[in-house]
Amino acid sequence: MRGQSGGARNPRGSRARFRGSRAECPSFERFIDGLECGDGSARARLRLVGGELFDNLATHAAPLRGGMSVRFGRNSAGRMTLAFTFRSARYRAWLKAPGPSLPSWSPVEKRWRGLGLIMVRNLSSRVEHRAGPSGDRIVVTF
Amino acid sequence: MDQLNISEKVTDRGAILVVEGPVNSYTFTEFQTKVYAWSKKADLVIDMAAVTSLSSAGLGVLMAAIDDANDAGRKLWILKPSEIVRMAIESTGFADSFAVIGALREAF
């Protein structure tokens, strides 16, 4: 991970770059732990939601050309935002594929599916997926 | 804390797993192995006071282990979940499925 504080240009935000592999989970968590985000509850939300999205991208979007950029900030209303920027055709295809709308047990895979999606939905106020020729972007507002 | 540490204690009434650190996609295999192994053969308390993160994969392990324990006539309790564990459990809408306790004496 290469981390970078926003410094004078963006005193309320910070960003980091990752290759986009699951082995970077500890680095991503250290990035979240280093953010100036307020109380422990806010950090817990960032860890849970950010961790789910990071894992989804590492699992369903890799290999990421140019890696993944993660940026923390606050919007004009003062709400925390977490933005993931990357480039992945595989992710765009995965996004269009039908997935479970509710958590359910998969007897074939012997695991619960859809839990991460509902965690992200319930621990954030808005999740936007934007895909375009200039790249892909997920922005979470808390 | 980057590493997951799981220690096991066996008593005459059941087993206790003390979990410390993050349960994420990078570490959850060890968590899964130990929780599944114990949930089928003993009443189990999982101490999650020092868990620093809990991914959906980890939550899924807990939910499956609760079902396994029920099928085997066993019980599974979550002891003193940290704030992040409590938040993760409540976010799924399945909080009623988890037997959360504040002290070991409530289980054994």
Lay out the sheet containing B76-79: strands in order across: B5-10, B15-23, B44-54, B76-79, B99-101
> Of A54, A43, A36, which is closest to residue A91 (Cα–Cα)?
A54
> Per-residue pLDDT tens for A29-39?
999 999 999 88
Task: Tell me if A116 and B56 make a contact (CB, 8 A cut-off).
Answer: yes
Q: Which CATH superfamily is domain B5-106 in?
A: STAS domain (3.30.750.24)
pLDDT averaged over chain B?
Answer: 94
Q: Is A9 helix (H, G, I), strand (E, B) or coil?
A: helix
Task: Tell me if B93 and A48 make a contact (CB, 8 A cut-off).
Answer: no
DSSP string covering A15-33: EEEE---GGGHHHHHHHHH
Residues 6+ apart with CB under 8 A from A68: A17, A18, A19, A20, A54, A57, A84, A85, A86
What is the C-alpha separation between B9 and B57, in angstroms, rounded?
24
Task: Tell me if B25 and A25 make a contact (CB, 8 A cut-off).
Answer: yes
What mean pLDDT do residues B50-60 have? Answer: 95
CATH of the domain spanning A14-141: 3.30.565.10
Which pLDDT belongs to residue A99? Answer: 66
Q: Return the domain boundaries, chain A.
A: 14-141
- Of A6-15, A38-47, A76-85, B85-94, the poorest mean pLDDT is in A6-15
Which pLDDT belongs to residue B51? Answer: 97
- HSE-up (13 A, CA, CB side) for residue A50: 33
> Per-residue pLDDT tens for A42-95?
999 999 999 999 998 998 888 888 899 999 999 999 999 999 999 998 888 877
The partner residue sitting opposite A118, judged by closest CB among B83, B87, B92, is B92
Give the confidence band of A1 by pLDDT, cuts at 50, 70, 90: low
For A47, the token pair is: 């860890």
ipTM of the complex: 0.90
For chain A, say whether B83 makes contact (Cβ under 8 Å).
Answer: yes
A chain contacts of residue B91, beta-carbon cutoff 8 Å: 48, 118-119, 122-123
What mean pLDDT do residues B26-46 have? Answer: 94
Give the confidence band of B65 by pLDDT, cuts at 50, 70, 90: very high
A chain contacts of residue B93, beta-carbon cutoff 8 Å: 118, 122
For A102, the token pair is: 């509710």
Give the confidence band of A10 by pLDDT, cuts at 50, 70, 90: very low
> Per-residue pLDDT tens for B2-32?
799 999 999 999 999 999 999 988 898 999 9
A chain contacts of residue B52, beta-carbon cutoff 8 Å: 29, 47
Task: Tell me if A123 and B87 make a contact (CB, 8 A cut-off).
Answer: yes
- List, as ranges, residues 37-66 from B with C-beta within 8 Å of A: 52-57, 59-60, 63-64
Give the confidence band of B97 by pLDDT, cuts at 50, 70, 90: very high
Share of chain B above pLDDT 70, in %: 99
> Per-residue pLDDT tens for A84-141?
999 998 888 877 777 666 778 888 777 888 899 899 999 999 999 988 778 899 999 9
Which pLDDT belongs to residue A9? Answer: 41
What distances in angstroms separate CA A74 from CA A11, A33, A35, B67, one per listed residue? Answer: 10, 16, 12, 41
- CA A84 to chain B, closest CA, distance in angstroms equals 18
